[in-house]
Structure 1
Amino acid sequence: MKVAIIGASGKAGRVILEELAERGHALTAIVRDAARTQHDTVLKRNAFALTTEELTDFDVVINAFGASPGNEHQHVDLGRHLIDQLRGTPTRLIIVGGAGSLYVDEEQTLRLADTPDFPSAYLPTAKNQAKNLEDLRQTVDLHWTFISPAAFFDPEGPRTGKYQLAKDVLTVNAAGESYISYADYAVALADEVEHHRHDKERISVVSV
């Protein structure tokens, strides 16, 4: 498939690009600075300026954008821009979300970001990614999937090729840990790209 990755030079974006490249998909890295990626096909563009015409050239657009400190509102701003450009089209939007918007109870009354021990430094990102998810859920004419990692999203962890999926409640693995490596998260995301099993849904990923 033809897949574009916004933020392909970021930590998660690079790993997702590598996983999809291994699977033989036609990939385009959408980045502001082409020097930050070694991928062959690059679209040098400010993500906020991407047009419907540009985006609908792809089967799937992956939003792996990471906002800098103090600019966390851009998760909402970019999310709304992509919704506006892609609604009513067949192009699918997959969002690399966060764990902060996951609930910690089965009754879904308390989100992880609202618990006392949630790191304050990550709270603005968590709140804005949660708002992005809310905007997506209020959009009816868009094919989207929001994928949250486990609470410990490990950039150094191994690729085991195994994972388990959950929905809106924070889930733990057999060791009682909410953990996923970037590499195994990328496996789960690539599987969703290929199989499209969770249209208009948020899913979460944890190791086995």
Structure 2
Amino acid sequence: MKIAVVSANGKEGKLIVREAMERGLDVTAVVRGENRSDATQVIKKDLFDLTASDLKGFDVVIDAFGAWSPETLPLHGTSLKHLCDIVSGQDARLLIVGGAGSLYVNPKHTLQLMDASDFPDMFKPLASAMGKALEELRTRDDVKWTYISPAADFRADGARTGKYILGGEELPLSSKGESTISYADYAVAMVDEAVNGDHVRQRISVVAE
């Protein structure tokens, strides 16, 4: 299986590359500058300069792009649209490192996590930008996409246990009623989905056991 990891130099991107390579998968890092991931195969190109020919032949393209400053938040939507456009009609599946803010917190799916009264104000612009990108992604029936949301508490330095609970559109909770997952265990879930391909054109979520 051939996998391309876009934005492979990011914290999550590097862990996804490592997880995939440890399973013996054929991994290519897509990076804008010097490659800092474990991948030995590299496409050195800005995401917005990627073309359909760059990604031709890959079974899975994983989008690990992230933007955090107010002026760059709209890039969540424009970058995802660009990747969708260049894999449109191809066999490659597009897997997206998503956000938790757009997960629903009620059975009727009328209230999202980012709308809850205790959701931190500092994260609302990011959650809104990622939520809008997901809404636009849902309209694409020309791309084999899967959007994977982490639990509410997404821990960059958490341990890799190799275990997680798979959820759907609602905020996932552990057996202890908590909503946390480490970047490392999220990478496990991402590579599992890359290998299995069980959730095409679906948003799924993952939480630690």
For Structure 1 versus Structure 2, the TM-score category normalised by the shorter chain is over 0.9
Q: Deviations over 1:120-168 (max 9, x none)?
A: 2222221111112111211111101000000011111111111111111
Could you say what secondary structure the match of 1:30 adopts? Answer: strand
Residue type at the aligned position of 2:178: E
How far is the alpha carbon of 1:43 from its aligned partner?
1.0
In structure 2, the residue matched to 1:192 is 193
Residue type at the aligned position of 2:187: A
In structure 2, the residue matched to 1:125 is 126
Count of residue pairs brought into register by the alignment: 208
Residue type at the aligned position of 2:136: D
Cα separation, 2, equivalents of 1:150 and 1:28: 27
Poorly superposed stretches of 4+, deviation over 4 Å: none
Deviates more, 1:32-41 or 1:68-77: 32-41
Residue type at the aligned position of 1:51: T
Q: Does 1:3 align with 2:29?
A: no
5+ residue gaps, structure 2, are: none
Q: Does 1:85 align with 2:97?
A: no
In structure 2, the residue matched to 1:96 is 97
Cα separation, 2, equivalents of 1:121 and 1:36: 29
How far is the alpha carbon of 1:38 from its aligned partner?
4.8
Could you say what secondary structure the match of 2:53 adopts? Answer: helix
Q: Deviations over 1:3-58 (max 9, x none)?
A: 11111111111111110010011111111111533531111111011101111231
Deviates more, 1:70-79 or 1:31-40: 31-40
Q: Does 1:56 align with 2:56?
A: yes
In structure 2, the residue matched to 1:167 is 168
Could you say what secondary structure the match of 1:199 adopts? Answer: coil
Query: TM-score, normalized by length of structure 2?
Result: 0.96
Cα separation, 2, equivalents of 1:24 and 1:38: 13
Cα separation, 2, equivalents of 1:98 and 1:194: 21
- After TM superposition, the structure 1 = structure 2 runs for residues 19-30 of structure 1, keeping only pairs within 5 Å, are 19-30=19-30
How large is the Cα RMSD of the aligned pairs?
1.1
Cα separation, 1, equivalents of 2:187 and 2:82: 24
